[in-house]
């Protein structure tokens, strides 16, 4: 299977052929089982986001966009005001699924604007426009990831010396399974393949990413299938890798970047950044502009999702590995201080500190 065939097989979100449901790959079953499922009711869509059947900030945005389009298509209303009230109820419900990834709210806001901009049209026209907007969000995500990949690939090319593989470390999964195609943190790697690099020209080290193992189950799975030299390590092994000189650069994704550059990403990311700072390794955040939240001044204001303790006390395959009743600390994300970030790679350009000015220069924000 070539990379393109693999991308098609694991498409995160699309409409089912008869447009009656969202067709998603159930990421909770990976890597053992590649299974697509159809989700159709409001509860199924909410639950798929909450339980990480579909996950990763951009993919959550795409799922929310198609989800609200689908739910809106079933609204029966007496005129526009009634339609909008029911639409808002569905939108608020989907928005309550996960708090940290701003793409969820960004996508739902974008869908909301479609309804407002069609205030003179019939509900049927609005329903059609909502599906068109969801298609646009998905297609833009492909192009945005590609643009991030081109910039990231430029950085990789600069690091390539004496025919040696470039050592890259990544945390969690900001790959094709988290987006509509190329991933964000993985986009530089996929673009490198397109630019003629062999899978052996780079060596990607994937943090397993406890507790839910997105690095092991998803990132190492997709990079391995793409033919990229990939090594999986436990999270507490990143330090020895960096110390031994195996890591030239770090690429991570993000769930929300505050105006000052503070970045929320999967729990453990800030530790990777602190280590990278210690060892003098460049640490890049790959951020579509939809993940940059200019309304959130600093990381302090980013809501961090707290998840079920079972995710810590039981292994992924549900074997108990801690005593019943033990207290558990299980935040799903942490915030990396902007001072530890070498650069934020957006589709519009590479940003450096001061990030608020750099983001504004690239046209983000009000
Ligand atoms: O809890 P998850 O699996 O949704 O967390 C995903 C991450 O933290 C990703 O790194 C982030 O969403 C960026 S995806 C391009």
ipTM: 0.99
State the residue range of the domain holding 206. Answer: 155-362
Position 210 pLDDT exceeds 90: yes
94: its two tokens: 């989907």
Query: Do 195 and 287 share a structural domain?
Result: yes
Binding residues for substrate are: 55-57, 98, 214, 265-266
Query: Do 167 and 129 share a structural domain?
Result: no
In whole angstroms, what is the distance from residue 346 CA to residue 135 CA?
21
Binding residues are: 55-57, 98, 214, 265-266
Q: What does the DSSP 8-state code read for residue 289?
A: G
Positions marked catalytic: 255
Ligand 1 atom at minimum distance from 179 CA: 15
149 falls within a domain: no
* pLDDT, greater one: 321 or 352: 352
Tell me which of 12, 97, 184, 255 to substitute to probe ligand 1's pocket, judged by most ligand atoms within 8 Å of the beta carbon: 255
Query: Do 176 and 125 share a structural domain?
Result: no
pTM: 0.96
Which residues does a 6 A CB cutoff place in the pocket of ligand 1?
Answer: 52, 55-58, 101, 172, 174, 178-179, 183-184, 214, 253-255, 265-266, 332
Domain of residue 127, CATH code: 1.20.120.420
Position 172 pLDDT exceeds 90: yes
Query: Do 65 and 210 share a structural domain?
Result: no
Binned at pLDDT 50, 70 and 90, residue 163 comes out as confident
Q: Is 269 left (phi over 0), alpha (psi -120 to 50) or beta?
A: alpha
344 falls within a domain: yes
Query: Do 164 and 130 share a structural domain?
Result: no
205 falls within a domain: yes
Domain of residue 322, CATH code: 3.40.50.10470
Position 348 pLDDT exceeds 90: yes
Q: What mean pLDDT do residues 18-42 have?
A: 96
Cβ burial 254-289 (10 Å sphere, 16+ → b, else e): bbbbbbbbbbbbbbbbbbbbebbbeeebbbbbbbbb
147 falls within a domain: no
Top-ranked range on mean pLDDT: pick from 310-319, 320-329, 352-361: 352-361
| Minimum mean pLDDT range among 210-214, 257-261, 267-271, 325-329 | 325-329
Ligand 1 atom at minimum distance from 184 CA: 15
Query: Do 352 and 307 share a structural domain?
Result: yes
- pLDDT tens-digit series, residues 94-147: 999 999 999 999 999 999 999 999 989 999 999 999 999 999 999 999 999 999
β-bridge mates for residue 169, sequence order: 205, 250
Of 156, 130, 113, the closest CA to residue 74 belongs to: 130
Query: Do 45 and 173 share a structural domain?
Result: no
Count of domains in the chain? 2
In whole angstroms, what is the distance from residue 157 CA to residue 138 CA?
29
């Amino acid at each position: 299977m070539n990379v393109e065939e693999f991308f098609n097989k694991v498409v995160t979100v699309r409409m089912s052929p008869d447009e009656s449901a969202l067709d998603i790959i159930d990421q909770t079953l990976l890597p053992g089982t590649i299974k697509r499922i159809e989700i159709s009711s409001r509860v199924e869509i909410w639950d798929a986001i909450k339980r990480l059947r579909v996950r990763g900030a951009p993919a959550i945005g795409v799922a929310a966009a198609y989800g609200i389009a689908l739910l809106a298509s079933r609204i029966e209303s007496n005129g526009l005001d009634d339609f909008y009230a029911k639409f808002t109820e569905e939108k608020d419900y989907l928005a309550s699924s996960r708090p940290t990834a701003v793409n969820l709210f960004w996508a739902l806001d974008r869908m909301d604007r479609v309804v407002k901009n069609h205030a003179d049209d019939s509900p049927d026209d609005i329903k059609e426009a909502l599906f068109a907007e969801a298609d646009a969000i998905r297609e833009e995500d492909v192009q945005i990831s590609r643009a991030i990949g081109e910039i990231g690939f430029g950085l990789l090319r600069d690091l390539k010396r004496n025919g040696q593989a470039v050592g890259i470390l990544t945390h969690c999964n900001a790959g094709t399974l988290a987006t509509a195609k190329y991933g964000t943190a993985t986009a530089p790697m996929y673009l490198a393949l397109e630019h003629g690099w062999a899978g052996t020209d780079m060596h990607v080290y994937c943090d397993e990413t406890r507790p839910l193992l997105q690095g092991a189950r998803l990132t190492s799975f997709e990079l391995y299938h793409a033919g990229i030299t990939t090594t999986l390590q436990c999270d507490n092994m990143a330090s020895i890798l960096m110390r031994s000189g195996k890591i030239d650069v770090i690429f991570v994704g993000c769930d929300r970047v505050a105006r000052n550059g503070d970045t929320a990403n999967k729990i453990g990311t800030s530790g990777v950044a602190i280590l990278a700072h210690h060892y003098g390794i460049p640490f890049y955040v790959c951020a579509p502009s939809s993940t940059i939240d200019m309304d959130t001044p600093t990381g302090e204001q980013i809501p961090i999702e707290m998840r079920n303790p079972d995710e810590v006390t039981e292994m992924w395959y549900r074997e108990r590995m801690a005593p019943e009743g033990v207290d558990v600390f299980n935040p799903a994300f942490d915030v990396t201080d902007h001072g530890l970030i070498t650069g934020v790679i957006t589709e519009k350009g590479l940003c450096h500190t001061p990030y608020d000015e750099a983001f504004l220069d690239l046209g983000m924000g009000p």
